[in-house]
Amino acid sequence: MAILLNDANTLFTLQTNHMMYQMKKDRYGVLLHTCFGKRGSVFDYSYLITYADRGFSGNPYDAGDERTYSLDALPQEYPTYGNGDYRSPALKVFYPDGSFSCELKFLSFKIKKGKYSLPGLPALYAGENTNADTLIITLEDTRHLFYVHLYYGVLEELDIITRAVCIENHSNDCIYLKNVQSACVDYLHGSFDLHTFYGRHVKERTYQRTPIVHGLQSVGSTRGTSSHQYNPFLILSDRETTEDSGNCYGFSFLYSGDFSGIAEHDQYNQTRILLGIHPDNFTWALNPGCCFWAPEVAMAYSDSGLGSLSRIYHKAFRENLCRGKWKSERRPVLLNSWEGVYFDFNGDKLIEMAKNAAELGVELFVMDDGWFGKRDLDISGLGDWAVNEEKLGCSLSRVSDRIHDLGMQFGIWFEPEGINEDSDLYRTHPDWAIQIPGKPPCRSRYQLLLDFSREDVRNYIFEHICRVLDSAQIEYLKWDLNRSISDIYSAALPPDRQGEAAHRYVLGVYDMLEKLNKRYPDMLIEGCSGGGGRFDAGMLYYTPQIWCSDDTDAIERLSIQYGTSFGYPVSTMGSHVSKCPNEQTGRITPLQTRAVTAMSGTFGYELDPAEMNAYDKEAVKAQIRQFKKYYDLIQYGNYYRLTNPDTAESWHGWQFAAEDGSEALLCAVALQIHPNGPGCWLKLKGLNSGSSYLVEGKEYPGDVLMNAGLLIPPAKLEYESIQMYITEK
Ligand code: GLA
């Protein structure tokens, strides 16, 4: 059992194979947080807490004359607003009398076998690969209006502990939730670094490491999606932690909307981490008898550096978050029409593209934006999900049939949440678009968003998408979203519930994706939001792969995929070889380098093969064969970052190794080329020290490859690449 109790049932110790997490109900019924870190002796770690007279940090009434007891200084499991703890709270509630100071006390607990799931929300699940238990601790507000159920999922072999929160109103009055964070962890001591992933459109998830200093450091999104700008994944580490050594703690939010991640270093050098829905666009009117569920956070810990922390997430997300057929089945190598032809195509042109692609060994042809409504540019047509047969020159099934005749599968692009004002749908239902009555809305890419918090809107779109999907043989769907939310408002909600619109929108997206998955269980669904604007663990529950970025430049991609790799496995990263010079940067890179980079993802092409010469076509055939050969190693093997592409001086390297260390694939790209430059050595990882390995016909001991490294020859060509297979002898 992974959940241990003391005799008095006041100390809760959660254990995975390598991690421990502990809470304690103290003498005043406050749930303290006492430990999060390396698995060790089961002991009452509350002995570490200092009780001192803290000036200007109040003492709860219950504590009587005990001036050394202050919530402002204590490590708490679920701190509340207005109760003498002046740090950032996990919970803020407006009571029926208008007050908003809240105090919680321990009430009860339950332990259940297996991992809980959440209604309408993504959550990790236990499979055959892990034991799982659930602990539910119930706190009650001292005015007896509501319960706070803290959920903990302990996934032992995965080394993951999940958290979620349910607020249940058991009073006769409505209460208003203003801030419900999903996870809070208080560290008593430590000098930490915060690792975050910032970016912008065409430059997502740039890795950033900063020391935590006194005050608040935060990332977040109020864009309605998790966003290009900040990713809902944080790492806290010791200052000295490296890729291969030291303590680090991961916090991944399984949510695709507004989020807030905070690190607060307080007056006593304690650090609080908070992760949850961003409170700015959020209030929730919780009626008597109702529950509100705050989404899940997956927490992980490693004492052996950032690389091993990432691999914990890679495995858990690949095997216990992604679902359905495509979790384990080899995904087809695809060719997407977007950068090849954009909006400029008809049926014959697509079939010609597909024919050329089939000859190269491509297995799935994806028709991107432009096949529906009046859609020759991005200014019109969104929302009108009816095939433009006039543009195609034939029916969709005709296109699909001809593509299948080529031995390929067929895929199609949708942007279900989007609507152009110049569309039949908008002309019929202007109130279905998110906008505030009487206020002209903010446009983005000439479009608005549909109010996905509304079931009637979702049902309409779902029905029209299904009509298209049922009209032809379609094996793949790309679900895109090309703007952020603004003017958040729902015509279907009363004024006092407008603060719910943003979260209800996300729940609506999840609801529709769930329905789509149920109705088309064999369909491969790829998520997308102007590239990687909604690349988060929440979406992975519904779409096992997500287009990583609209930046297809292989060199830019190294940094984007590097940042993404901290929290997400390679099998989820949509990545394509595109034309040269690159459409976004104009950069010229060798075709092989573009392939090596794209192979460290789901792999596909995004160009018009008709523009390729015979030499490149042969090279593409070889790349596809190569990818299939190494598929298992790349997609299911352990992923290792060898260098950081933002600081690498010559070669940037990364590597895959089989779980048992029997084979590996080294990948490297020459980022800088210097005449008479210094040498470059890459130290391999994940091999067996005692074994011998063959590298390009030469034999090396495993420990030598890992400790001394492999000499990488000086690059002769800018952006040259290496892909080296290494096998145990
Ligand atoms: C977004 C996507 C692209 C492409 C276009 C189509 O930008 O990220 O891949 O699908 O939309 O409009």
Same domain, 451 and 358: yes
In angstroms, rounded to a whole number, what is the distance separating the alpha carbons of residues 547 and 9? 47
At which of 636, 656, 689 does a domain end? Answer: 636
In angstroms, rounded to a whole number, what is the distance separating the alpha carbons of residues 558 and 508? 34
Coil/strand/helix, residue 206: strand
Determine contact, residues 704/690, Cβ cutoff 8 Å. Answer: no
Determine which helix (DSSP H) or strand (DSSP E) holds 645, and give its type and residue range.
Answer: none
Same domain, 712 and 651: yes
- Max CA pair span of the chain: 86
186, 550, 553, 608: the active-site residue: 550
Determine contact, residues 116/69, Cβ cutoff 8 Å. Answer: no
Same domain, 605 and 699: no
Q: How far is the CA of 554 from the centre of ligand 1 (A)?
A: 18
In angstroms, rounded to a whole number, what is the distance separating the alpha carbons of residues 281 and 95? 19
193, 369, 422, 480: the active-site residue: 480
- Candidates 261, 109, 207, 153; CA nearest to 646 is 207
- Name the pLDDT band for 118 (thresholds 50, 70, 90): very high
- Give the mean pLDDT of 117-133: 97
What pLDDT, in 10s, does the model give residues 278-308?
Answer: 999 999 999 999 999 999 999 999 999 999 9
C-beta neighbour count of 242 within 10 angstroms: 13
Q: How far is the CA of 200 from the centre of ligand 1 (A)?
A: 15
Q: Structure tokens of 306?
A: 């950032």
Same domain, 525 and 574: yes
Contacts of 242 (CB under 8 A, 6+ apart): 305, 306
The predicted structure's pLDDT at residue 320: 98
Same domain, 170 and 311: yes
- Candidates 479, 489, 436, 435; CA nearest to 256 is 479
Same domain, 471 and 597: yes
Same domain, 488 and 500: yes
pLDDT at 132 over 80: yes
Same domain, 102 and 228: yes
Q: How far is the CA of 473 from the centre of ligand 1 (A)?
A: 22
Same domain, 672 and 587: no
Same domain, 560 and 619: yes
C-beta neighbour count of 29 within 10 angstroms: 16
Report how many domains make up the chain. 3
In angstroms, rounded to a whole number, what is the distance separating the alpha carbons of residues 567 and 154? 19
Determine contact, residues 667/721, Cβ cutoff 8 Å. Answer: yes
The predicted structure's pLDDT at residue 211: 98
The predicted structure's pLDDT at residue 123: 98
- Candidates 259, 257, 264, 255; CA nearest to 278 is 259
pLDDT at 1 over 80: no
Q: Position of tokens 């008809």?
A: 346
The strands making up 692-695's β-sheet, listed across from edge to edge, are 638-641, 651-657, 663-670, 721-728, 692-695, 698-701
Percent of the chain with pLDDT over 70: 100
In angstroms, rounded to a whole number, what is the distance separating the alpha carbons of residues 528 and 535? 8
Coil/strand/helix, residue 655: strand
Percent of the chain with pLDDT over 90: 99
pLDDT at 520 over 90: yes
In angstroms, rounded to a whole number, what is the distance separating the alpha carbons of residues 641 and 304? 14
At which of 607, 636, 665 does a domain end? Answer: 636
456 noted as active-site residue: no
Count Cβ atoms within 10 A of the Cβ of residue 674 and give its class: 0-12 exposed, 13-18 middle, 19 or more buried.
Answer: exposed
Same domain, 311 and 426: no
Q: Structure tokens of 274?
A: 């908070």
CATH number at residue 690: 2.60.40.1180
- Name the pLDDT band for 674 (thresholds 50, 70, 90): confident
Same domain, 573 and 441: yes
At which of 298, 320, 342 does a domain end? Answer: 320
Paired sense of beta strands 215-221 and 104-113, if any = unpaired
The protein residue with its alpha carbon nearest to ligand 1, atom 1, reads 530
- Give the mean pLDDT of 7-23: 98
The protein residue with its alpha carbon nearest to ligand 1, atom 4, reads 338
CB hemisphere CA count around 101 (13 angstroms): 6
What pLDDT, in 10s, does the model give residues 588-604?
Answer: 999 999 999 999 999 99
CATH number at residue 155: 2.70.98.60
User: What average pLDDT does the chain have?
Assistant: 97
Beta strand extents in 201-328 (DSSP E only)? 203-211, 215-221, 233-238, 248-253, 259-265, 271-277, 284-286, 291-302
The predicted structure's pLDDT at residue 317: 98
26 noted as active-site residue: no
Pocket of ligand 1 (CB under 6 A): 338, 368-369, 378, 413, 480, 482, 528, 530-531, 547, 550
Rounded CA Rg of the chain: 27
Q: How far is the CA of 531 from the centre of ligand 1 (A)?
A: 7
Which residue range is the domain that position 176 belongs to?
3-320
What pLDDT, in 10s, does the model give residues 617-657?
Answer: 999 999 999 999 999 999 999 999 999 999 998 999 999 99
Contacts of 701 (CB under 8 A, 6+ apart): 689, 690, 691, 692, 693
